[in-house]
């Protein structure tokens, strides 16, 4: 099988960033055929979507590299100060979420990371398998912070045709990107989705959900415990939630600093959520002792239910 479209993305990234070329090549050397098949499928679909929105692939690659550059600057600052560059969620809203140009670039670039960062790919594929294996039990689905919209797209692909889907995001730009992705891939079923452009904590929802998706949200707010308690209260009796976040992960819009994986587990438990399964994925291939000592980022995800 040829991987022409994925290779097209790689070639553009490699030409623009020798550092990314080195990192990505090392990561790809450990991947198997199923990864490259998934990466090619994603690349075909995403390039077609970008073309439908008149977004050049070069823009997407530049957006990805801009995001990586911002994260590197944040990491350097974190190593010096021990603090994230932003400490108040309102600043992140003003600087990123409320600005169409910044948010569009961020989300378009972030989508590429699902296959260019091994930890993001593992979380992505883990979630897709959850959708595949539990589709018959999910009649109602809530996603908080859809971002680039790729998780919602997979939920729509694998869940039952009569499943109800609800989406909430504080960023109007993120909501519009998600709308455009869902129109492109699921035009016939687009009307099944309810969109809410509002702070999740300010939204009143009158039903319980069989599955709640909250990917990379709680590190963006000052009060993640309130988000988690609300998620717990919105779960149906046997419902499940998929929560992902990160440890020691400075960024231009990360405000809550988890120092260890144990801190995340403790907060989930304190908020009435029981961990059913989890993955802790360091972004560097190093001994865990070195990861902890050097405060290297760990991506974390968990499948949880009511305690």
pLDDT tens string, the chain, 307 residues long: the values are: 689 999 999 999 999 999 999 999 999 999 999 999 999 999 999 999 999 999 999 999 999 999 999 999 999 999 999 999 988 888 888 888 888 999 999 999 999 999 999 999 999 999 999 999 999 999 999 999 999 999 999 999 999 999 999 999 999 999 999 999 999 999 988 999 999 999 999 999 999 999 999 999 999 999 999 999 999 999 999 999 999 999 999 999 999 999 999 999 999 999 999 999 999 999 999 999 999 999 999 999 999 999 9
The pLDDT score that the predictor gives to residue 214 is 98
Give the residue extent of every domain in the chain: 4-116, 118-306
The pLDDT score that the predictor gives to residue 91 is 83
- List, in order, residues 6 or more apart from 131 with CB less than 8 Å away: 138, 154, 155, 157, 158, 159
Cβ neighbour number for residue 287 with a 10 Å cutoff: 10
- E strands along 23-139, which residues? none
Q: Which CATH number fits domain 118-306: 3.40.50.720, 3.90.180.10, 3.40.50.300, 3.40.50.150?
A: 3.40.50.150
Q: Tell me which residue has tokens 């919602």.
A: 152
Handedness of CA 26, 32, 33, 38 (dihedral sign): negative
The pLDDT score that the predictor gives to residue 29 is 94
The pLDDT score that the predictor gives to residue 2 is 85
CB 65 within 8 A of CB 75: no
Task: Tell me 148's DSSP state.
Answer: T
Distance CA 223, CA 241 (A): 18
Distance CA 118, CA 158 (A): 23
The token pair at 238 is 């046997």
The pLDDT score that the predictor gives to residue 277 is 97
Q: For 186-287, where are the alpha helices, taking DSSP H only?
A: 224-234, 261-270
What are 299's strand-pairing partners?
246, 281
What are 142's strand-pairing partners?
166, 212
Residue (of 291, 293, 283) closest to 122 by Cα position: 283
The pLDDT score that the predictor gives to residue 160 is 92
> Can you give the pTM of this predicted structure?
0.95
The token pair at 19 is 């550092």
């Amino acid at each position: 099988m040829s991987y022409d479209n994925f290779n097209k993305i790689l070639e553009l990234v490699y030409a623009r960033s020798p550092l990314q070329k080195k990192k990505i090549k090392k990561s790809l050397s450990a991947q198997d055929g199923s990864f490259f098949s998934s990466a090619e499928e994603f690349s075909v679909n995403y390039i077609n979507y970008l073309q439908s929105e008149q977004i050049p692939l070069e823009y997407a690659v530049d957006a990805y590299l801009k995001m990586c550059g911002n994260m590197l600057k944040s990491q350097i600052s974190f190593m010096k100060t021990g603090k994230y560059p932003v400490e108040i969620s309102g600043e992140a809203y003003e600087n990123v979420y409320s600005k169409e140009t910044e948010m569009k670039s961020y989300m378009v670039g972030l989508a590429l990371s699902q296959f260019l960062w091994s930890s993001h790919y593992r979380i992505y594929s883990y979630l897709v398998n959850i959708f595949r294996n539990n589709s018959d039990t999910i009649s109602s689905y809530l996603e908080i912070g859809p971002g680039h919209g790729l998780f919602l797209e997979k939920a729509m692909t694998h869940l039952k045709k009569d499943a109800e889907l609800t989406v909430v995001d504080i960023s109007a730009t993120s909501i519009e990107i998600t709308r455009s992705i869902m129109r492109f891939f699921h035009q016939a079923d687009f009307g099944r989705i309810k969109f809410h452009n509002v702070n999740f904590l300010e939204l009143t929802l009158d039903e319980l959900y069989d599955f709640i998706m909250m990917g990379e949200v709680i590190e963006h707010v000052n009060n993640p415990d309130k988000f988690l308690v609300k998620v717990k209260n919105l779960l149906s009796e046997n419902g499940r939630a998929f929560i992902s976040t990160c440890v020691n992960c400075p960024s231009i819009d990360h405000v809550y600093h988890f120092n260890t994986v144990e801190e995340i587990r403790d907060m989930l438990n304190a908020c009435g959520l029981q961990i059913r399964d989890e993955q802790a994925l360091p972004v560097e291939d190093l001994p865990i002792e070195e990861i902890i000592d050097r405060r290297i980022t760990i991506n974390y995800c968990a499948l949880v239910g009511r305690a």
